[in-house]
Chain A
């Protein structure tokens, strides 16, 4: 009898063992994937971040729009925007995995580098010194507390933004490898080359107060492929079907009506009689057909100060931003921006060529990007043509108009050039200083404390006013 029992005990145990080894294999998701799926993810997510944050922060900081209730950014209470920080590093990890997964495929590596450079610039331009060279090594090296690098190193160091872009261009020009999952350029590597070179122009101009970029810029203009038209610009459109619809289309009413045309936009666009005003914004509720009024609200008003305005006399944002799921194109970089960068470079003597031509191309490209007709005489009206003084201000003002909803680009330009001349929001909570960065995410304090403290010290304090390298 006892023997039988022992047999039963043993049998029971081994019966349980049958599928024992297999039951902890996760069948819900793959351990390895083809890089094309990661590339698609990065393009969809990163482009969405551009437009999403353009609406929620970039447009407010650059004063394209103003806010009533729920976006403390407008009163310069910026917070840390940890959500974007986390999302950006996660995308950079996807990019790293693209590079790791197909060592043999140069094209994937180069394309991933272009996007890595773009994401890195976003990080350093929003938070100043950030982890870069030691970043993303949690898995490979067990480094969960990466050190922060200076903005200068991130832009100019070996393996930094400019280096990544230049190498990517060289690789793409010579490779025979192909990529898939490219929902932006459908695998057309020439367009990636143009995008990479255009980004080089953007970043060289960005650091041009600190570094003599003239030779390199001139070389790019002379010898490299750049965006030739709006057809090549780096856009990812929203789609008519969920889940790829423009976020404000699916949002509650409040998220839409909470954001208004700014007084700054009214002051800039009205004198130009600019048709883009009627695109970006709606006529006020009180205006009558045939006599549409476009009026803005000053930025950064307290609730109490808003009482001085009748919101029926303040314009909402344009209907393409609320009523259509797929009218917005999420842009990494537009052709018009490239032209304005070149106009600025030419105007400053960094490159040869006519500043005015680039400038006028840029304006035309902005209209083209939006699918609007530039009125005849637009370029010749007062305050538009170059040559009569205030050149830089004119270029930056037109660039500002064109940068609507394009991430934080217009804010970066304002921080660098001071144009357009934005008014200080009356009820700002930042001691009447224009903020220049987000605070570091508090998670960094909690989990990367000593590197955080060092970085905060290095930039002059973890507050909204510590200027980065290129804007000092």
Chain B
């Protein structure tokens, strides 16, 4: 290339116009010289580039304009006439794709060298609109990444899946790595089964949500197994590499303050009907909420139309034995005295008004400094959240210290430590049952005025008896959130240290060790008269977790001649993880209001589980770069995991990645700035959880003094082999028109073999599931990232980024001896009665296909009704939909005008289905808006009746009218999954950020380096088929998150607020 230019220059020189030679050095803000900067004469196909030391020399005309461009930096254009000094400083590009990315093992690489897809988010992008949970910052911004949120607001778990689900069994979560050391993103749930009289599931948040976005310098998403191969077993789902911020040099101590306050409003609530109140068949009278009135222990709203007529109600006036006024629901004090009937009116906003405006405050202050010998950065972040659900909150304090120090020219050290304390007074109960307030609302009569319920004890019964509108089934929601609290306090330390010793110019040794340790104490209190705990309860769940990673690496790096660059490294790694879980339960209490095990009325119930795991590894890698256009990387790794049988606990990985920057070699047109092709292949292995090999018996609660033990319900497997994923990936990166248009396209194929999966089995085999090495599953997909700078004027710019991904996985080969691949299930109700099965049909079935029961239908798909006018069900499993999306599209637009910056991020998920418990329950109970039809005249269901025989059916149009309550009760029968399916597609305005950066000339007067204020909004609007809930939210059942099923989710919220950033 150089030769080519030189020849041209010489030729031009020979022509001998009014030319002169300019020369200088190009450097960056840190005064480091930048090699290979393109120096081009605008509108002429002439130019050069800077050498290794950033120097250049170029023959120019006086009328020329010269443009300096380098990836990762803003372009700079100077006219020859006006410029004297050709020592140029290029400013780092804020929003362009950075050239340096952090890859596996913390290796910093030039992006152009890589043969696989990496996407980078910088700290500024993450904090532009700060999300309380770091994971959410990825949504819409990174192609191929899908995030889902827990439904209990700030502090709940956010899941992220890269390139769909490769593993059927695992949680498919990527590995999170902070400063080169893996950290835990696991959420170890309480051991609950949500049985009739048990505790509900509670989401205490995923591990990565503990990090403060303000401490993050960059996030690099390594999407495929190739990129992640060096991380070994745990990286099969991709790797998210997080680098923490380091101190920067400034005058004195640099101070930055980032402060935001947002307000959360509920954005989604079931749409209720407001014409008919509680009762069945149009009548109602409250007496004690236990059925003594008319329908007052009932759960349905097919009662009297709400026209202001007088009816006895739970908040109607009455009096006690002394004649003092009490409420109708003060049943004990009232002792049978009559309730004065009150107006029977709609309370359309009764549920909405129960929720409050949440407030989230995130405050960060960071001090930093640096000199030639080292740097430090000390940062404190506090997050305070008051949830939209009354009394629910989340508080997090992060103290982070990062320091670097150069002991000698050769020995340097970098340490990072974050201490995190997070806690909550109350985390909402999830799932189906009386501990979820949404359950209370979906079964609550629509006439209920909740104002009176705020005073939630019955008169004279404080601490003993709650005051509620339905004593038979429902907890007063205020009682629920203020008395029955699920609190926690978690202390976590993340720390890592890296020593780097330069043995010679070309050889260095790195030793890195990191720890991630936490203890999490969860306390669950239940007051007397709680539906599930009539005599109260107290429970503690204690989780402690420690993970250590130690890594030693010897790296070599050299150039051979002008063109050949070579690097290689070998290393070894040890990983140990220990989990200890313990829970104690006092299932009944002696004295109300005292939550202490000494107050237990009955023997304590205990449960305990300790597990540990180790992986030892050795690895090597090598990279060759030829003439800055051809790149080849090879990595090898071998792991030994304790979780696999000794004879198969060793497994190897490799990856080979190549890249070809063809614009360096081909004579591409001027507008074609950069073009690269990349291809990679890899094969990675994976182990499993501890204790998957040999069966043990499980302890059951004693019967009196007899200890009980029973079989475990899953048959383990002593012959497990490691999982294996073979991946192929190819892609291209193209930039046009001076990088104003960038396009990155990746296609991939992952083939997973021997997946370790707990396969559900017939319990008549003695086990409900068996651990096996599964069949072959193939995932294919495409990811497209498009960035465009649409307008770029001196004062105004508009740029757009688009992230698109589409992928699906199919079963290629069934496991041995299995002819029907049922990979899992989600219980839609506590009992096994209502189950959605995930069945991957061998005949083209897609992973994520859901099956359940539904209506009896004719061949042409019409519902068959019985002679009684009610739809008939059968027990045959049928296809309901697939929980995976067809594609995901994120579109971001950024506008800048002088100091103003506007960001708008849209997130579109298209396709997929979700089965809704809210729909089933709310339709059965008649509270949802769509159940208003047919209340007066009954409903003639659309379908046919069989007037023939079973074997010889004759179908006639159904003409039998049934009452609305009977119709909806049967149509939305909870064993009928088919009637509660919604399209899960949605389009969201995920983020809007509007900020203003005050000009330097203003702020410098106040000795302020930078000052920025902004308005931020998240989750502003959602468009989706169903009017009742946010389909993005995930559900939790038992100890795991489940897919494709909505389980009385809490309303999601939209938030908006202000953000202020200072730098001194």
In the complex, chain A residues 91-143 whose Cβ is within 8 Å of any chain B Cβ: 92-94, 96-97, 130-131, 135-139, 142-143
CB contacts (< 8 Å) of A448 on chain B: these are 761-762, 764
Which B residues are CB-close (under 8 A) to A24?
613, 642-643, 690-691, 693
Residues of B close to A139: CB separation below 8 A? 695, 715, 766-767
CB neighbours of B552 from chain A (8 A):
8-9, 12
Q: In the complex, how many angstroms separate the beta carbon of A241 from the nearest chain B beta carbon?
A: 5
Please choose the segment from A36-44, A199-207, A350-358 that sits at the chain B interface, where 4 or more of its residues have CB less than 8 A away.
A36-44
Q: Is A445 an interface residue (CB 8 A)?
A: yes
Stretch from A79-87, A377-385, A406-414 at the B interface = A79-87
B185 interface residue per 8 A CB criterion: no
Q: From A153-161, A301-309, A337-345, A397-405, give the one contacting chain B.
A: A301-309
Which B residues are in CB contact (< 8 Å) with A90? Answer: 710-711, 713, 763, 766, 768
Query: Which residues from 425 to 472 on chain A have a C-beta closer than 8 Å to any C-beta of chain B?
Result: 427, 429, 431, 439-450, 462-463
- Which 9 interchain pairs have the tightest Cβ spacing? A138-B765, A303-B280, A82-B832, A16-B574, A252-B531, A304-B281, A131-B764, A29-B696, A41-B708
Min CB distance B464 to A, Å, is 14
Decide: A27 near B711, CB < 8 A? Known: A146-B764, A439-B875, A440-B875.
no
Asked if B618 and A13 sit within 8 Å, CB to CB, the answer is: yes
A219 contacts partner chain B, Cβ-Cβ < 8 Å:
no
Q: What residues of B have a CB within 8 angstroms of the CB of A144 in the complex?
A: 761-762, 765, 767, 770, 817
What are 27 A-to-B residue pairs whose CB atoms are below 8 Å? Answer: A5-B554, A9-B552, A12-B550, A16-B616, A20-B642, A24-B613, A44-B700, A82-B832, A86-B763, A89-B766, A90-B768, A138-B761, A243-B605, A244-B704, A247-B196, A252-B534, A303-B295, A303-B302, A304-B965, A307-B280, A307-B294, A429-B970, A431-B868, A445-B875, A446-B820, A447-B762, A448-B762
Interface membership of B95, Cβ < 8 A: no
CA distance A368 to B273 in the complex (A): 55
Q: Closest approach, in angstroms, between the C-beta of A323 and any C-beta of chain B? A: 11
- Give the residues in chain B near A183, CB-CB below 8 Å: 703-704, 706
A86/B699 contact (C-beta < 8 A), A69-B298, A253-B290, A257-B297 known? no
Tell me the chain B residues, 406-436 only, with Cβ under 8 Å from chain A. 434
Smallest CB separation, A19 vs chain B (Å): 8
Name the B residues within 8 Å of A463 (CB-CB): 874-875
Contacting residues of chain A (22-53) with chain B, CB-CB under 8 angstroms: 23-24, 26-33, 37-38, 40-41, 43-45
In the complex the two chains form, is A37's CB within 8 Å of B711's CB?
A: no
Instruction: Kindly provide the distance from the CB of B692 to the nearest chain A CB, expressed in whole angstroms.
Output: 9
Distance from B526 Cβ to chain A, minimum over Cβ atoms (Å): 12
The answer to the question of B1038 belonging to the interface, with a C-beta cut-off of 8 Å to chain A, is no
User: Does A145 sit at the interface, judged by CB under 8 A?
Assistant: yes
The 8 A CB mask of A280-320 against B (1 = contact, 0 = none) is 00000100000000000000001110110011100000000
Instruction: State A462–B291 Cα separation when bound (angstroms).
Output: 36
Establish whether residues A93 and B576, one from each chain, have CB atoms under 8 Å apart when the complex forms.
no
Fill in one digit per residue for B252-289: 1 if any A CB lies within 8 Å of its CB, else 0. 00000000000000000000000000011101000100
Q: Which residues of chain B come closer than 8 Å to A253, judged between CB atoms?
A: 290, 471-473, 531, 534
Interface residues of B (CB under 8 A from A): 196-197, 279-281, 283, 287, 290-292, 294-295, 297-300, 302, 434, 471-473, 503, 509, 531-532, 534, 550, 552, 554, 570-572, 574, 576, 587-588, 602-603, 605, 608-614, 616, 618, 640, 642-643, 646, 690-691, 693-704, 706-713, 715, 759-768, 770, 817, 819-820, 822, 825, 831-833, 835, 837, 839, 851-853, 866-868, 870, 874-877, 963, 965-966, 969-970, 973, 975
Looking across the interface, which residue of chain B has its beta carbon closest to that of A142? B817
| Cβ-based interface call for A68 (8 A) | yes
CB-CB nearest in chain A for B607: A28
CB pair A20–B640 under 8 Å, yes or no, is: yes
Question: Are B603 and A93 in contact, with the CB atoms below 8 A?
Answer: no
- Assembled-state Cα–Cα distance A20/B970 (Å): 57
User: Are B706 and A44 in touch, CB under 8 angstroms?
Assistant: yes
Do A30 and B696 have beta carbons less than 8 Å apart? Answer: yes
A244: shortest Cβ distance to chain B, in Å?
5
Q: Are A243 and B587 in contact (CB under 8 A)?
A: yes
* B445, chain A: closest CB distance, angstroms: 13
For A28, the chain B residues whose CB sits under 8 A away are 608-611, 691, 696
A93 to B695: give the CA distance in the assembly, Å: 13
- Contacts known (A16-B616, A30-B696, A302-B966); A257 close to B766, Cβ less than 8 A: no
Cβ of A242 within 8 Å of any chain B Cβ, yes or no, is yes
Report whether B711 and A97 are in contact in the complex, using a CB–CB cutoff of 8 Å.
yes
| Known A-B contacts A30-B696, A37-B708, A447-B761; A252 and B281 likewise in contact (beta carbons under 8 Å) | no
How long is the Cα–Cα vector from A217 to B52 in the complex, in angstroms? 103
Nearest-Cβ distance from residue A306 to partner chain B, whole angstroms:
7
The minimal Cβ–Cβ distance linking A93 to chain B, given in whole angstroms, is 4
Cα distance, A258 to B715, chains bound together (Å) = 39
Nearest chain A residue, comparing its CB with the CB of B866:
A431
Do B706 and A181 have beta carbons less than 8 Å apart?
A: yes
Instruction: Provide the bound-state CA to CA distance between A312 and B291, in Å.
Output: 8
Neighbouring A residues of B610 by C-beta, 8 Å: 27-28
B764, A303: Cβ atoms under 8 Å? Answer: no
A143 pairs with B833, CB closer than 8 A:
no
CA distance A257 to B534 in the complex (A): 14
Q: Is the CB of A94 within 8 A of B764?
A: no
B710 to chain A, nearest CB (A): 5
A-side contacts of B819, CB under 8 Å: 449-450
A450 and B711 CA atoms in complex are apart in Å by 27
Since A30-B709, A450-B819, A463-B874 are in contact, a sample of 18 more A-B pairs with Cβ atoms closer than 8 Å, ordered by chain A residue number, is: A13-B618, A19-B614, A26-B611, A28-B608, A41-B710, A89-B765, A146-B762, A253-B531, A302-B965, A303-B280, A303-B281, A304-B302, A310-B294, A427-B966, A429-B870, A446-B837, A446-B839, A447-B759
Residue of A nearest to B768 (CB): A86
Closest A residue to B975 by beta carbon equals A79
Taking the nearest CB of chain A, how far is it from the CB of B312, in angstroms?
A: 14
Given known contacts A30-B696, A41-B710, A13 and B574 CB-to-CB distance under 8 angstroms: yes
Complex-state Cα separation, A205 to B640, whole angstroms: 62
Whole-angstrom distance from the CB of A466 to the nearest CB of chain B? 12
Which residues from chain B contact A181 at a C-beta distance below 8 Å? 706
Contact A33:B832 (CB < 8 A) given known A24-B691, A69-B299, A312-B292: no
Distance from B648 Cβ to chain A, minimum over Cβ atoms (Å): 13
Cα–Cα, bound, A250→B532 (Å): 8
Given contacts A136-B764, A250-B534, contact A241 B602 (CB under 8 A): yes
Q: Which residues of chain A come closer than 8 Å to B825, judged between CB atoms?
A: 443, 446
**Across the interface, do A442 and B706 meet the contact criterion of CB distance under 8 Å?**
no
- A255–B531 alpha-carbon span in the complex (Å): 10
Task: Give min CB distance, A450 to chain B, whole Å.
Answer: 7
List chain B residues, Cβ under 8 A from A136: 764-766
Chain B residues with Cβ below 8 Å from A83 are: 831-833
A contact residues around B837 at 8 Å (CB): 442-443, 446
A446 to B768, alpha carbons, bound, how many Å?
Answer: 12
- Complex Cα distance, B835 from A144, in Å, reads 20
Taking CB atoms, residues of chain B closer than 8 Å to A92 are 766
* Per-position binary interface string of chain A over residues 249-287, scored 1 when its CB falls under 8 Å from any chain B CB and 0 otherwise: 011111101100000000000000000000000000100
Cα of A423 to Cα of B532 in the assembled complex, Å: 35
Q: Give the docked Cα–Cα distance between A141 and B863 (Å).
A: 43
Encode contact with B along A219-246: 1 for CB under 8 Å, 0 otherwise. Answer: 0000000000000000000010111100
CB distance from A311 to the nearest CB of B (A): 4
Which residues on B sit within 8 Å (CB–CB) of A9?
A: 552, 554, 570-572, 618
In the bound assembly, the distance between CA atoms of A83 and B614 in angstroms comes to: 37
Q: Contact between A41 and B709 (Cβ–Cβ < 8 Å)?
A: yes
In the bound complex, residues from chain A placing their C-beta under 8 Å from that of B281 are 303-304, 307
* Min distance, Cβ B831 to any Cβ of chain A, angstroms: 5
- B695, B701, B966: the one contacting A304 at CB < 8 Å is B966
Please name the residue on chain B nearest to A131 by beta carbon.
B764
In the complex formed, the residue of A with least CB distance to B833 is: A79
Q: A135–B963 contact, CB under 8 A?
A: no
Min distance, Cβ B213 to any Cβ of chain A, angstroms? 34
